[in-house]
Amino acid sequence: MRANPALLDGLPPNLTWNLPAKQLDGTVKWPVCHAVEWLESLLDDQSRKHLPGVIFPKLEESDAAMCFRRMKRGEHLLGLEKIGYIVQHPWKFRNNLAAISPEKLKAILLWCRALQFALKKVEKNFSLDSVWLLVEWHMDSFSSSNI
């Protein structure tokens, strides 16, 4: 990142933005959920409204909305085909400063998917407590770095 700070252009300023987060209701917000919410925050109202249909193009609008809600709860991992739909769609952003290239969007979604996949494996093989230990370790490492 020091060699190419442009990699972070357009991303939230805190490099821990996509880590799992405990919610007040006891659920977990997983990395893909963070990425989708971040994308939603960049899109204009019309594009944001059509996001579920873009991700789930073969479903009726109500079914796509239901699957989208499940995905945002972390019940389903965003598949590679779905990432392809998102990246190829001609999004309209709130403003030009919020626009993100398809290549960068793909990289972010793939990174969040890989991170979530790995952390779900840790949860399955060890426990959710082990996931929180990894998150804590990353947060400590991040706060002590000079990035």
Residue 74 in any domain: the answer is yes
Mean per-residue pLDDT of the chain: 89
- Check pLDDT > 60 for residue 147: no
Residue 14 in any domain: the answer is no
Q: What is the pLDDT of residues 90-133, one digit of tens each?
A: 999 998 877 899 999 999 999 999 999 999 999 999 999 999 99
Residue 19 in any domain: the answer is no
Residue 2 in any domain: the answer is no
Residue 5 in any domain: the answer is no
Mean pLDDT throughout 48-52?
96
Q: How many domains does the chain have?
A: 1
pTM recorded for the entire structure:
0.88
User: Coil, helix or strand for 139?
Assistant: helix
* Angle (nearest 5°) at CA 113 between 100 and 124: 160
Domain with 106, as residue range(s), is 25-144
Alpha-carbon separation of residue 22 from 11, 28, 98, 111, 133 (angstroms): 21, 5, 27, 20, 13
pLDDT at 2: 66
Residue 4 in any domain: the answer is no
Distance from C-alpha of 27 to C-alpha of 144, rounded to nearest angstrom: 28
